[in-house]
Amino acid sequence: MTRSPPTACPQDRTYDPGRRVHQVSTQVIVLNGGSSSGKSGISRCLKAILPLPWINLGVDDLIDRLPPSLTDSGSGVAFGQQGEVILGDGWRELETAWTTGVAAMARAGARIIIDDVFLGGRTDQERLRAHLKGLDVLWVGVRCDSVTAAAREIARGDRVPGMAAIQAETVHTGVVYDVEVDTTRTESLDCARTIAKHVS
Amino acid sequence: MTRSPPTACPQDRTYDPGRRVHQVSTQVIVLNGGSSSGKSGISRCLKAILPLPWINLGVDDLIDRLPPSLTDSGSGVAFGQQGEVILGDGWRELETAWTTGVAAMARAGARIIIDDVFLGGRTDQERLRAHLKGLDVLWVGVRCDSVTAAAREIARGDRVPGMAAIQAETVHTGVVYDVEVDTTRTESLDCARTIAKHVS
Amino acid sequence: MTRSPPTACPQDRTYDPGRRVHQVSTQVIVLNGGSSSGKSGISRCLKAILPLPWINLGVDDLIDRLPPSLTDSGSGVAFGQQGEVILGDGWRELETAWTTGVAAMARAGARIIIDDVFLGGRTDQERLRAHLKGLDVLWVGVRCDSVTAAAREIARGDRVPGMAAIQAETVHTGVVYDVEVDTTRTESLDCARTIAKHVS
Amino acid sequence: MTRSPPTACPQDRTYDPGRRVHQVSTQVIVLNGGSSSGKSGISRCLKAILPLPWINLGVDDLIDRLPPSLTDSGSGVAFGQQGEVILGDGWRELETAWTTGVAAMARAGARIIIDDVFLGGRTDQERLRAHLKGLDVLWVGVRCDSVTAAAREIARGDRVPGMAAIQAETVHTGVVYDVEVDTTRTESLDCARTIAKHVS
């Protein structure tokens, strides 16, 4: 298992010459997956089974907090007819500040599960990685077959139709993970157990 | 496939000698299954795929509408430490009136998906059957392996822990169905498609 | 205080010559008012303070249960740019069946607070009165100054903008009440106490 | 109007001799008030009327994200029989990290409305002030008569009964504000307009 940045040498963080080897522990868990792939369910299971207290914060939390000026005008977040998500300049500015703050929470000692949707694939991971620099991050890919995700979108009934299918594959393009789970045939709790084994 | 009552001869309802054969169509779909077995997801999928308009009404809708006097005192609905549901006298009276009304909606032309939990198994089915007398009912068993249902209860995070496991088997005791689905390894949408084939 | 129909002589229902004077008690409370006028808050307060158990069912409950075919097509309920509500034929059929059922619940013994929006004013009241025939109904007008209702619509943030202002006056046109409350300067709980005095 | 810290001389921030008068703008709005005093409604109105985009984050958002281990054990947040809130050590640690992060979001450019409940009065304000050091903060007291707040708690129906009355006065003890509003007889939107005049 590698962590953030996966290219870094783990020993750098665990070996402190002249003093002692100190315990390294995971500070952030990033769950990346398309809409209706099952990230929220996994997040709740992780909070229930991990021995230390974790909180969750995700991109949907920021969307829920946007003012009418950003949701009505299209300068923030808008949704297309086919379920595509359109991000405006107003969004990017806010998202950057939001992510800076979430990273600061983690540096201040809160263990955080970030649930995200890398619409831009690898580019989004790199941007997030830069924000989380210095933190011990576990990168998790949450996959779900696109037909299954689209079916779950209908069963939920509260999401913009089409998002699940559009995002299922694209959000993983070029992204590097420490662990991947697939909710197509595995329950959220079992996925969470797999992930938990990688949490130190 | 048989309908309500399963012992009735379908011809009785479709053949009207001396006048004409009239079209019989399903008026009520009863989904019976334990907590976290997936009834709500199936219900939403049915509403999305059935050609005619259906609405859903279930036991949870009544519970959500109970006054504080019935939820605080235990004379309505209460939940035990292990997730058991305790129904008081105040509940029974209200539930009878509620079900009478739901049946009346169906007789007045609304197609209704009733989502229920037969805590008393066959006894509850017989009680509901009496209320729905004369209506064309499709009885559906929604099964889910108890371990899986308990896992989904954790992933949802908004249900009294323990209910899923306790109810998984008992709610089906002695109940007779027209069609049964199992959400353990089948998506809600696929279960809904199976059920839809039995809707006339 | 008069009840349903307000033109009826109360004695007709309480005096039964040759046998005995029997107890009459309110079976249905109808709260009519525009969007954001405060009906839901009053309904919750009534449930908290009335000595007998009451449940609430309203037009919003039916809207929430409509299938996608009725909300997406405009054949059910649609919302205009200015907050106007457009009801299609599919809606009228369902609403009639729904109301028939709610009346049946009340006749079967459930005490029900119906929270409604008489978009058609007096016509809607007459239609509902016909459904509730034979039941002891308390007709309540819930008024709120249109500017105040529009302000509360913004503060809620979860309603179609404009509905509050459009509906504030029109829903009361020609409607006859047993009691009226005005939430503009009176808290929901105080309005509920006023109403409760008329519940027998 | 004074800002954070209220003892600072406003000119210090607007007058920069030798260079130019630069624009100072509010970065954080802190709404402090008891449960059911109307903070959320004011927050939504502020987001609707302020010309620049603002997001809201509050103590309730953190509570909603706590893992079961902190809500079930009492080591996080617990609620007493009379509506009193009991904060454990696990809570304090998390809250400190959370607030650090929210301050970092604001420093990174997000305009944030913090909705808080100073259970400890002035002590809590001082703690928050330390976190927000260097930011231009507008401190707002949201008052509501305790009887009215308790009435609104009943009308909402989703809060622990008793909290509103207990907190109505105590949360303001020793707290210093730039502006105070009282929702007892003033609508959220009007309170928001009053506050908006103090936002630069």
Q: Hey, which residues does A128 pair with through a beta bridge?
A: none
Give the per-residue pLDDT at C74: 74
CB spacing of D110 vs A94 below 8 angstroms: yes
Q: What is the DSSP string of chain D?
A: ---SSTTS-HHHHH--TTS--------EEEEE--TTSSHHHHHHHHHHH-SS-EEEEEHHHHHHH--HHHHHSSSSEEE-TTS-EEE-HHHHHHHHHHHHHHHHHHHTT-EEEEEE--TTTHHHHHHHHHHTTTS-EEEEEEE--HHHHHHHHHHH--S-TTHHHHHHHHTTTT---SEEEETTSS-HHHHHHHHHTT--
Q: What is the DSSP string of chain A?
A: ---SSTTS-THHHH--TTS-PPPP---EEEEE--TTSSHHHHHHHHHHH-SS-EEEEEHHHHHHH--HHHHHSSSSEEE-TTS-EEE-HHHHHHHHHHHHHHHHHHHTT-EEEEEE--TTTHHHHHHHHHHTTTS-EEEEEEE--HHHHHHHHHHH--S-TTHHHHHHHHTTTT---SEEEETTSS-HHHHHHHHHTT--
Residue A19 has pLDDT above 50, yes or no: no
**Of residues B66, B45, B181, the one with CA closest to residue B113:** B45
Among C187, C193, C194, C195, pick the best mutation site for testing chain D contact (most D Cβ within 10 A): C187
Name every residue whose Cβ is closer than 8 Å to that of residue D86 and which is 6 or more positions away in sequence: D74, D77, D78, D79, D80
Percent of chain D with pLDDT over 70: 88
Facing residue for C154 by CB, picked from D45, D148, D157: D45
Residue with tokens 């198994």: B121
The set of catalytic residues of B is: 60
C50 touches chain B (CB under 8 A): yes
Give the per-residue pLDDT at C160: 87
Tens digit of each residue's pLDDT (9 = 90 or more) over D49-75: 999 999 999 999 999 999 998 988 778
Give me chain C's average pLDDT, please: 89
Residue A199 has pLDDT above 60, yes or no: yes
Tens digit of each residue's pLDDT (9 = 90 or more) over D61-118: 999 999 998 988 778 888 888 888 888 888 999 999 999 999 999 999 999 999 999 9
Q: Which residues of B touch C69 (CB under 8 A)?
A: 47, 53
Give the per-residue pLDDT at D24: 65
Among C42, C105, C127, pick the best mutation site for testing chain B contact (most B Cβ within 10 A): C105
Taking the CA of residue C45 and the nearest CA in chain B, the distance in Å comes to 10
Give the per-residue pLDDT at B98: 97
pTM assigned to the model: 0.88
Tally Cβ neighbours within 10 Å of residue B136: 17
**Of residues C13, C46, C35, the one with CA closest to residue C193:** C46
Q: Which residues of D touch C188 (CB under 8 A)?
A: 151-152, 154-155
- Residues in chain B, overall count: 200
User: Residue D70: how many CA atoms within 13 Å on its side-chain side?
Assistant: 24
Give the per-residue pLDDT at C73: 77
Give the per-residue pLDDT at A24: 65
**Helix/strand/coil for C139:** strand
Positions in chain B whose pLDDT score sits under 50: 1-22
CB spacing of A44 vs B157 below 8 angstroms: yes
Q: Which residues of D touch C145 (CB under 8 A)?
A: none
As a whole number of angstroms, the distance between CA C84 and CA A111 comes to 47
Residue B151 is inside which H or E element, if any?
helix B146-156
Residue C80 has pLDDT above 60, yes or no: yes
CB spacing of A65 vs D76 below 8 angstroms: no
CB spacing of A76 vs D96 below 8 angstroms: no
Facing residue for C108 by CB, picked from B65, B97, B107: B97
> Considering only alpha carbons, which residue of chain A is nearest residue D72?
A48
Q: Which of A17-21, B31-35, B68-72, C161-165 has the lowest mean pLDDT?
A: A17-21
Tens digit of each residue's pLDDT (9 = 90 or more) over D152-198: 999 999 888 999 999 999 999 999 999 999 999 999 999 999 999 99
Give the per-residue pLDDT at D90: 87
Name every residue whose Cβ is closer than 8 Å to that of residue C80 and which is 6 or more positions away in sequence: C86
**Helix/strand/coil for B28:** strand
ipTM: 0.86
Query: Would you say the C-alpha torsion C181, C98, B188, C74 has a positive or negative sign?
Result: negative
CB spacing of C96 vs B109 below 8 angstroms: yes
Q: Which residues of A touch D61 (CB under 8 A)?
A: 61
Indicate which residue of A60, A145, A182, A190 is catalytic: A60
Task: Please tell me whether the peptide bond between B5 and the residue prior to it is cis, using omega within 30 degrees of 0.
Answer: yes
Tally Cβ neighbours within 10 Å of residue D178: 19
- Spell out a b/e string for B49-65, using b for 16 or more CB atoms within 10 Å of the CB, else e: bbeebbbbbbbebbbeb
D72 touches chain A (CB under 8 A): no
Give the per-residue pLDDT at B27: 98
Q: Which residues of D touch C191 (CB under 8 A)?
A: none
Give the per-residue pLDDT at A23: 57
User: Residues 134..153 of B with a Cβ closer than 8 Å to A: which?
Assistant: 148, 151-152
Give the per-residue pLDDT at B16: 41
As a whole number of angstroms, the distance between CA C61 and CA B40 comes to 16
Predicted confidence band at C24 (pLDDT cuts at 50, 70, 90)?
A: low
Among B42, B59, B100, pick the best mutation site for testing chain C contact (most C Cβ within 10 A): B100
Taking the CA of residue C17 and the nearest CA in chain B, the distance in Å comes to 30
Tens digit of each residue's pLDDT (9 = 90 or more) over D6-22: 333 333 334 444 444 44
Give the per-residue pLDDT at C75: 82
CB spacing of D189 vs C155 below 8 angstroms: yes
User: Residues 160..179 of D with a Cβ closer than 8 Å to C: which?
Assistant: none
Taking the CA of residue A186 and the nearest CA in chain B, the distance in Å comes to 9
Q: Which residues of D touch C190 (CB under 8 A)?
A: 151
Facing residue for D155 by CB, picked from C41, C152, C185: C41
Q: Which is more confident, D138 or C1? A: D138
B1 touches chain C (CB under 8 A): no
**Of residues B110, B52, B113, the one with CA closest to residue C97:** B110
Give the per-residue pLDDT at A74: 74
Q: What is the biggest distance separating any 2 CA atoms in chain C, rounded to whole angstroms? A: 61
CB spacing of B61 vs C56 below 8 angstroms: no
Q: Which residues of C touch B102 (CB under 8 A)?
A: 101, 105
Give the per-residue pLDDT at D14: 40
The set of catalytic residues of D is: 60
CB spacing of A62 vs D55 below 8 angstroms: yes
Mean pLDDT value across residues D135-144: 98
Tens digit of each residue's pLDDT (9 = 90 or more) over A140-182: 999 999 999 999 999 999 888 999 999 999 999 999 999 999 9
Predicted confidence band at D23 (pLDDT cuts at 50, 70, 90)?
A: low
A133 touches chain D (CB under 8 A): no
Give the per-residue pLDDT at A94: 95
Predicted confidence band at A76 (pLDDT cuts at 50, 70, 90)?
A: confident
Give the per-residue pLDDT at B24: 65
CB spacing of C48 vs D152 below 8 angstroms: no
